[in-house]
Structure 1
Amino acid sequence: MTRRLGTSAAIMGLLAAAFTSTAPAAGAADPLLGAPVVGQCSDMSRAELDLPSYGEPAVDCAGTHTALVTSVLTLPDGLAYDSADLTELAVGTCSDAQRQAAGASRLGVRLTAYAIGWFIPTPEQQAAGARWLRCDLVLLGGAELLPLPGTLDVGKFPYKSTVSRCLTGPDYAVTACSEKHTYRATAAIKTKARRYPSEKAWKRLGTDRCRSATTSRTYRFSWPSKVDWKVGDRALVCYTQTKK
């Protein structure tokens, strides 16, 4: 999963509120009004990652920070902020930027705790003519965002525990393996299905494929959302139980 990691009804309400801005005035302005620049860092919280817009001041990238802007683009004319096309564009663009920043393949990045956030202009910025999308790279730590490492490139698998993907807590939230956890991602397997599998099919695939990709009697697995699938994520991720 990426971005809002399972958009809840409450978040959809926030999104709807952000989309009800007035139309920009004639002759208005720069579509990149208020947009950040690539390479800008933020001290973002996990709750802020789920908001439709983020406008807090940038912080010094040499200090502690939890988010990095990896891409900024101007939205095509006619693309509505509340459309499925925007979500698909955002997930595809931000996932590409995430892989580039991490120096990992499409499968490789699924074995990391890196995730994406994407944001649109505030209602006030939209009213002034802003039409942009920003992508941020973050590092998940369960209910929190962890500080990003100075070097984002993960190198070759197995990755350092500070960026490797693990699961924690009763809800099996993604976290870096340097934090307390109960399962560690040990394999990302490409699924060859032509269409998005049903939940039953995913469970059958996970039970079959992850049995030989894990080293514990108890194991878990996860699969991409329909949006992730549409932009090319076919990874079934297998998790081995740990004692930590």
Structure 2
Amino acid sequence: MTRRLGTSAAILGLLAAALTISIAPAAGAADPLYQAPVVGQCSDMSRAELDLPSYAEPAVDCAGPHTAQVTAVATLPDGLAYDSPDLTELAVETCYAAQREATGASKLGIRLTAYAIGYFIPTPEQQAAGARWLRCDLVLLGGTELTPLPGTLAVGKFPFKKSVSRCLAGRDFLVTTCAAKHTYRATAAIKIKEKRYPKEKAWKRIGTDRCRSATTSRTYRFSWPSKVDWKVGERALVCYTQTKK
């Protein structure tokens, strides 16, 4: 049995040697980086806050418990509207690059972890003051919550530690770390080489065919990238083997 797992352009899922990216600043902006966060800054963010367009809570000490860390800050190009589809594409591409840089993982390897990305734009008040930036955050998914980030973000070589490995839990098959209770474990990430983004029926066929030999249980699952992910080069099919936990 197989089932598609939903993915999000804002999340999907990050940071170890963060980077700052500068794109052409907005013309006439007094300070495009007005109140922008600093790369490496940590936050005690909730899962619900990860889905908000902006996040303006105070930073926390990275030496203590925290659930998010800024991996990149980019100045937006002149003329790019905050509600433009191009912003999502820019954000996903920028944040995925920062995710790999931070964790030291490859495009396929990162898909076998529970690390995810989140991105935020300035608040309306910050935009009114000229802010034109985008921030990327690294988080570690834990079902309906975010799991505190480890002290060392680098994942090393596969197989990764249970504390960062990607598993599925609950009836909704939410992504969590394999250190938590789970029912499926990500065992393979396969690059799909189709020239065009496959339709859902094609994805199901591809997943069934490719994951059959990449899993070790009679029942397995798989997930595929969103259209935005595909457009920026993120084309991994993830296969999940059923576990007894």
TM (norm. structure 1) is 0.90
Structure 2 residues without counterparts, runs of 5 or longer: 1-6, 13-25
**CA-CA distance at 1:34 after TM superposition:** 1.2
SS of equivalent to 2:212: coil
Equivalent residue for 1:43? 44
**CA-CA distance at 1:4 after TM superposition:** 3.6
- The answer to whether structure 1 residue 159 and structure 2 residue 169 are counterparts is no
Equivalent residue for 2:102? 101
Shift of the 2–98 alpha-carbon distance from structure 1 to 2, 3 Å rule, reads: farther
Q: Distance in 1 between matches of 2:195 and 2:9?
A: 24
**CA-CA distance at 1:91 after TM superposition:** 0.1
Aligned residue pairs total 226
Q: How does 1:1-244 map to 2 (within 5 A)?
A: 1-2=7-8, 4-5=10-11, 29-244=30-245
Q: Distance in 1 between matches of 2:214 and 2:86?
A: 35
**CA-CA distance at 1:3 after TM superposition:** 5.0
Q: Distance in 2 between matches of 1:2 and 1:71?
A: 19
Instruction: Provide the aligned C-alpha RMSD in A.
Output: 1.5
Q: Distance in 2 between matches of 1:115 and 1:145?
A: 10
Q: Is the 8 A contact 1:161 1:178 kept in 2?
A: yes
**2:82 counterpart letter in structure 1:** Y
Q: Distance in 2 between matches of 1:235 and 1:4?
A: 16
**CA-CA distance at 1:29 after TM superposition:** 2.1
Structure 1 residues without counterparts, runs of 5 or longer: 7-23
SS of equivalent to 1:62: coil
Q: Distance in 2 between matches of 1:207 and 1:165?
A: 20
Q: Is the 8 A contact 2:103 2:154 kept in 1?
A: yes
Q: Distance in 2 between matches of 1:27 and 1:78?
A: 11
**CA-CA distance at 1:169 after TM superposition:** 1.0
**CA-CA distance at 1:128 after TM superposition:** 1.0
Q: Is the 8 A contact 2:44 2:68 kept in 1?
A: yes
Relative CO higher for 1 or 2, CA cutoff 8 Å, sep ≥ 6? 2
SS of equivalent to 1:210: helix
Q: Which moved more, 1:27-36 or 1:113-122?
A: 27-36
Q: Deviations over 1:51-85 (max 9, x none)?
A: 00000000000000000000001100000000010
Shift of the 3–55 alpha-carbon distance from structure 1 to 2, 3 Å rule, reads: farther
Q: Is the 8 A contact 1:71 1:94 kept in 2?
A: yes
Q: Is the 8 A contact 2:11 2:117 kept in 1?
A: no
Q: Distance in 2 between matches of 1:198 and 1:35?
A: 39
Q: Distance in 2 between matches of 1:3 and 1:62?
A: 30
Q: Distance in 2 between matches of 1:28 and 1:85?
A: 20
Identity %: 81
Q: Is the 8 A contact 1:44 1:65 kept in 2?
A: yes
Q: Deviations over 1:193-244 (max 9, x none)?
A: 0000000000000100100000001000000000000011110000000011
Runs of 4+ in structure 1 off by over 3 angstroms are 1-6
Q: Is the 8 A contact 2:184 2:243 kept in 1?
A: yes
SS of equivalent to 1:71: strand
Equivalent residue for 2:22? none
Q: Distance in 2 between matches of 1:106 and 1:231?
A: 12
